[in-house]
């Protein structure tokens, strides 16, 4: 890259969603025209607008390093982490910033994640082990650890939950993040709950709610493929059901 181009400043037009349900009767969009150098993220731009233009803008963030998952929001219609989304990677100079869908709005870009966390708790996202605590740690082979690598990086940002069209119409659906986290634990060699645990998710609110549209795959900032985990758990459930049926015959 030409060093001069690296320092070039670009003018952007930001349209930012604004809504406080305790005060406003309906949402609105506020417009700000700002100029930033290359390398500026959407979150950095939002915080700058907050500091220099309107300090009433509400946005949730913490680590600024794509670790905590706090700054999930819609940018130009796509669920993203604002802290890792570069302005220069967007198409054009128009930046539309909105809250994640499928959750009630607390204020502006801050949404109520209660249904997301309730779904997460329903899958019991921890290791299920039988018997007393062992004297030594439960060791895993390198192969067993490697089998978990594609699934352990979920930061629970809810981008996939906001992208999921099923959640919009089926409020009790677990959603892709919860099911992917369930797969992560059931895939763990130390987990002893067994496939019978999946009977709890054998319904349209669980494993059979997904329509395999793959929007969750597109939305995940950590390149996890929740749809693949849903399909894998469906297969595991069906194998268990068939084996159970044949044992009864």
d(CA 94, CA 76): 8
Q: Which helix (H) or strand (E) holds 117?
A: helix 114-122
Cα–Cα dist 213/223, whole Å: 16
Please list, in sequence order, all residues whose beta carbon lies within 8 angstroms of the beta carbon of residue 159, skipping any fewer than 6 positions away: 72, 79, 80, 81, 100, 219, 220, 221
State the chain's maximal CA–CA distance in angstroms.
76
Give me 123's structure tokens: 């899958």
Distance separating alpha carbons of residues 192 and 232, to the nearest angstrom: 18
Pairing of strands 94-98, 105-107: unpaired
pLDDT of residue 133: 79
At residue 180, the pLDDT reads 97
pLDDT of residue 105: 97
Written as six digits, the tokens of 192 are 């002893």
Q: Rg of the Cα trace of the chain?
A: 22
Compute the Cα dihedral for 152, 59, 99, 112 and give only its sign.
positive
Q: What is the pLDDT of residue 134?
A: 79
Which of 115, 125, 112 has the alpha carbon at shortest distance from 151?
125
Are the C-beta atoms of 50 and 19 separated by less than 8 Å?
A: no
First to last CA, the chain: 70
Burial level of 180, CB count in 10 A (0-12/13-18/19+)?
buried
Which residue, among 130, 6, 108, has the nearest Cα to 50 in the 3D structure?
Answer: 108
- pLDDT tens for the chain, residues 1 to 249: 444 455 689 999 999 999 999 999 999 999 999 999 999 999 999 999 999 999 999 999 999 999 999 999 999 999 999 999 999 999 999 999 999 999 999 999 999 999 999 999 999 999 998 877 778 888 899 999 999 998 999 999 999 999 999 999 998 999 999 999 999 999 999 999 999 999 999 999 999 999 999 999 999 999 999 999 999 999 999 999 999 888 865
Task: Please tell me the distance from the alpha carbon of residue 120 to that of residue 147, in angstroms, as a whole number.
Answer: 22
Q: Which domains does the chain have, with CATH numbers?
A: 3-111 (3.10.20.30), 114-248 (1.10.1060.10)
CA 153 from centre of chain: 11
For residue 7, what pLDDT is reported?
A: 67
Rounded Cα–Cα distance for residues 210 and 232 (Å): 12
């Amino acid at each position: 890259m030409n060093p001069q181009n690296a320092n070039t400043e670009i003018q952007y037009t930001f349209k930012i969603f604004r809504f406080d349900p305790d005060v406003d009767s309906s949402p609105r969009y506020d417009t700000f025209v700002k100029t930033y150098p290359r390398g500026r993220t959407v979150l950095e731009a939002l915080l700058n607008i907050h500091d220099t233009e309107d300090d009433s803008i509400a946005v949730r963030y913490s680590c600024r390093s794509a670790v905590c998952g706090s700054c999930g929001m819609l940018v130009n219609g796509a669920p993203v982490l604002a802290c890792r989304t570069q302005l220069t990677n967007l198409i054009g100079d128009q930046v539309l910033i909105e809250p994640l869908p499928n959750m009630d709005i607390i204020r502006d870009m801050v949404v109520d994640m209660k249904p997301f966390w309730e779904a997460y708790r329903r899958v019991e996202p921890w290791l299920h082990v039988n018997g007393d605590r062992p004297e030594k740690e439960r060791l895993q082979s390198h192969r067993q650890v490697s089998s978990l690598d594609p699934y352990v990086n979920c930061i629970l940002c809810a981008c996939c939950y906001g992208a999921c069209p099923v959640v919009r119409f089926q409020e009790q659906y677990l959603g892709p993040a919860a099911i992917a986290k369930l797969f992560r634990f059931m895939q763990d060699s130390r987990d002893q709950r067994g496939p019978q645990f999946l009977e709890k998710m054998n319904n349209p609110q669980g494993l059979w709610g997904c329509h395999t549209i793959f929007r969750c795959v597109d939305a995940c900032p950590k390149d996890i493929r929740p749809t693949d985990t849903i399909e894998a758990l469906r297969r595991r459930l069906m194998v268990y059901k068939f084996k159970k049926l044949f044992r009864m015959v």
